[in-house]
A and B are shown apart, each in its own frame.
Chain A
Amino acid sequence: MFDHTVSELAALLRDRKVSSEELAALFLGRIERLGGGLNAFITVDAEKALASARAADARLARGEATPLTGIPIAHKDLFCARGWKTTCGSRMLADWVSPYDAHVVEQFDRAGAVLVGKTNMDEFAMGSSNESSFFGPARNPWDPSRVPGGSSGGSAAAVAARLVPAATGTDTGGSIRQPASLTGTSGIRPTYGAVSRYGMVAFASSLDQGGAFGKSAEDLALMLNVMAGFDERDSTSVERPKEDYARDLARPLAGLRVGLPKQYFTADLAPDVASCVMAGVEELERQGATLVEVNLPNQALAVPVYYVIAPAEASSNLSRFDGARYGHRAAGYADLNDMYRKSRAEGFGAEVRRRILVGTYVLSHGYYDAYYLQAQKVRRLIARDFAGAFASCDVIAGPAAPTVAFPIGEKTSDPVQMYLEDLYTISVNLAGLPGLSVPCGFGEGGLPVGLQLIGNYFDEARMLNVAHRFQQATDWHRRSPPGYGS
């Protein structure tokens, strides 16, 4: 049963074939038995989970269930959840218990989902391997000596290992799609503004967007139906009517135009990944889609632009961690300034410190125009490239990551090598577009590969339709890592 999708589990719950309490106990048992080696969770709370499972059972009995009622889920540990530790993978917040709920947490609560734990992540979501976590790296269930990707590595590993049926994540530069690709899970980052950022610890506010991991595109649609929607507490939440993301799942692909950016299929892409991705694209073609080449001429500038904009926004957002109001405070200091300096030096890990310094520099007097303003202008060019591409296609297809999962420790000594891991995802964040990754095969070492689909603004239902049709014809998404399947 742990291999079931959310929609399958929801049907069993509705038909009273299983209770929510039994499901919670099943997944808690798996976390206990199999989870230790993966370090996918920072916090697990069996007592809270079982209590909310019993509440879900009562709701199911009253006939007031939603599709998520009674389904165990996990939140990435940067979604504030009242009464839960919310660490952001950092020493800075290692003991911080949130006094309030994020909008996303509230929405899942209202839907009756059962929160079992908070997942491991790169510190403050800065990383592509989960190795920058203060709580140690999460591991990839397909090969525990390898990374699960990041920053939402814990959520990806947990779903891949069937420790939870679905989990939330966030994607600022690829932090959902890249780990989904590396762990053989399905993951979606919606259009910027679709999911409220209220209560989501901020990294780079113009790029951050909450999203979801699951075992199927259909599950992602169910998750988005809960998460997405207008929230006045986030000034960038987009005011638009609630939509059913599952409405178009079954639509045939005949007539679909799939854009293939020539800049995505170059020597930077590992051959094993390229052949899985192309096989995936051919399946779409078999179902009636037509392939068109599209041009994203400024694609190579996306990573450099991102490493101005994201650190700049991070340096501003993370200035709130001052050791005075909450979070880590150093034990000894000479004066107020010294308290700031020491608390921040101790509370933040190496990657976070680096990015704060880069951001501080590019925003400092005399450098703003040359870096931040220039980056914002090139960002516009990158967004225009996509607008041009969508004139001739409905979705763009390509890889989500340049390689399969890499060994833990391989890229930690060179920050730039780690940054290039997000080569195919970052431009989507800069443009604010939605993107998803679904499993499309296995590359070297039997490790999973993801097919990335990029949609136009608020075109998630169409992307999920394409992903769902793909999954109706393939079974990559149903494969589980050895030792974690049935």
Chain B
Amino acid sequence: MLSRDDIRRIAELARIEVPEEGVAALQHDLNGIFDLIEQMRAVDTTGVEPMAHAIDLTQRLREDRVTETDQHELFQSAAPRVEDGLYLVPKVIE
């Protein structure tokens, strides 16, 4: 069972603000979801190879050639704040 403190801790890890009055409802919902998940934890999986992907794949290598052009102006046109080609965020170090 996830406690209220667990919810606050997870929300902090996920960088999602959860107002204090929203913690109880999230705790209820998440515990409901983990009740469902619990069913698979009891399965004996000794010796079973984890399946990371739907199909077996090997990493491809491609020819080393230029495939991308510089489109930073186009891409940055969607940014909330840009100056001199840089993304602006609040000051991190005083």
Interface residues of A (CB under 8 A from B): 96-97, 99, 191-193, 206-207, 232, 235-236, 238-239, 298, 300-301, 303-305, 307-308, 315, 319, 322-327, 329, 333-342, 344-345, 348, 353-354, 356-358, 360-362, 364, 370-371, 373-381, 383, 414-416, 419, 429-432, 457
Residue from A323, A354, A379 within 8 A of B80 (CB atoms): A323
Asked if A374 and B40 make an inter-chain contact with CB atoms under 8 angstroms apart, the answer reads: yes
Q: How far, in whole Å, are A191 and B56 apart by their CA atoms in the complex?
A: 13
Residue from A324, A341, A416 within 8 A of B32 (CB atoms): A416
Q: How far, in whole Å, are A308 and B77 apart by their CA atoms in the complex?
A: 36
CB-defined interface of B15-48 with A at 8 Å, one 1/0 digit per residue?
Answer: 1111000000010011011111111110101001
Size of the B side of the interface (Cβ < 8 Å), in residues, is 51
Chain A residues within an 8 Å CB radius of B90: 333-336, 338-339
B92 within 8 A of A: yes
Residue from A236, A239, A341 within 8 A of B16 (CB atoms): A341
Asked if B11 and A376 make an inter-chain contact with CB atoms under 8 angstroms apart, the answer reads: no
Q: Which of A304, A319, A376, A381 is the most central at the interface, judged by chain B CB atoms within 10 Å of its CB?
A: A304
Q: Which residue of B lies closest to A239 (CB)?
A: B60
A-B pair number, CB within 8 angstroms: 170
Q: How far, in whole Å, are A100 and B60 apart by their CA atoms in the complex?
A: 24
Q: In the assembled complex, how far is the CB of residue B93 from the closest CB belonging to chain A, in whole angstroms?
A: 10
Asked if A371 and B53 make an inter-chain contact with CB atoms under 8 angstroms apart, the answer reads: no
Residue from A191, A236, A327, A340 within 8 A of B15 (CB atoms): A340
B79 within 8 A of A: yes
* The 7 A-B residue pairs with the shortest CB-CB distance in the complex, in nearest-first order: A432-B54, A376-B50, A192-B54, A377-B45, A329-B80, A341-B17, A345-B17
Chain B residues within an 8 Å CB radius of A319: 15
Residue from B10, B13, B39, B48 within 8 A of A301 (CB atoms): B39
B14 within 8 A of A: yes
Q: How far, in whole Å, are A338 and B17 apart by their CA atoms in the complex?
A: 8
Q: Contacts A193-B54, A376-B51 hold; do A415 and B87 have CB atoms under 8 A apart?
A: no
Q: How far, in whole Å, are A75 and B29 apart by their CA atoms in the complex?
A: 32
* A-B contact list, 21 entries, CB within 8 Å: A96-B78, A99-B78, A191-B55, A192-B54, A232-B60, A232-B62, A238-B55, A301-B40, A338-B90, A339-B90, A342-B17, A354-B29, A357-B16, A358-B30, A360-B10, A361-B10, A374-B41, A376-B52, A378-B45, A380-B50, A429-B54
